[in-house]
Chains A and B, each alone.
Chain A
Amino acid sequence: AQRVTQPEKLLSVFKGAPVELKCNYSYSGSPELFWYVQYSRQRLQLLLRHISRESIKGFTADLNKGETSFHLKKPFAQEEDSAMYYCALSAGNMLTFGGGTRLMVKP
């Protein structure tokens, strides 16, 4: 069975501080991992996927198969980054989400 764990329900940082949202997964095969974001009053939307190895809105995430992690990082947080972030794992035909982390960026 696949599982995604986001250990922090809430992460509060000041503007300009570095941010790291943690994600750990369990899956016996080769996973496809994603980060989704939900801004206030907006739909859940894709932020980035590990297969693309891209940086979106200054965020990056590296898949660490040894530690089974896919942490989301940004060197300098902005107030507009405040949102709910979900880590997700796609395996087989299932798309499984973690419990989510609410990021609050204070001015």
Chain B
Amino acid sequence: NAGVTQTPKFQVLKTGQSMTLQCAQDMNHNSMYWYRQDPGMGLRLIYYSASEGTTDKGEVPNGYNVSRLNKREFSLRLESAAPSQTSVYFCASSEFRYTEAFFGQGTRLTVV
């Protein structure tokens, strides 16, 4: 039972480079989320997707784009990476708003 799988686990980018973080869940959940975790700031919502085909901005969407490819997959793209995007990124999924959210293991991204 894989749950929520994120790739890659670690990544180092140069300023200006682009990359896509992949996330897949095998629990048939409707909602998926992308967060970033920074020291002292907790988890901040970047984007979320309430269902297949829909995406919405969260608290800190600038510099990111997302794609809900299908019900299983929700990717996060950095078009032109900046040092301020150095963070740990978490993907999560849940069935409804009342139920438990399941998290991936995180992607540690460093932009130099």
Contact = CB atoms under 8 A, between A and B. Distances in A.
B48 interface: yes
Contacts of B92: 44, 95
A95 B45 contact: yes
Nearest to B98: A32
B74 to A, nearest CB: 13
Q: Binding site of B, secondary structure by majority: helix, strand, loop or mixed?
A: strand
Contacts of B45: 94-97
Interface stretch (B8-16, B19-27, B34-42, B64-72): B34-42
Nearest to B38: A99
Nearest to B103: A44
Interface string B41-54: 11111001010000
B103 A93 contact: no
A91 B97 CA distance: 7
A13 interface: no
A29 to B, nearest CB: 11
- Interface majority SS on A: helix, strand, loop or mixed? strand
Contacts of A107: none
B98 A97 contact: no
Nearest to A90: B97
Interface stretch (A45-53, A60-68, A75-83): A45-53
B94 A95 contact: yes
B5 to A, nearest CB: 11
A93 B40 contact: no
24 contacts: A6-B42, A9-B40, A34-B101, A44-B103, A46-B100, A49-B98, A49-B100, A88-B101, A93-B31, A93-B50, A94-B45, A94-B48, A94-B58, A95-B33, A95-B48, A95-B92, A95-B94, A97-B42, A97-B43, A97-B44, A98-B42, A99-B40, A99-B41, A99-B42
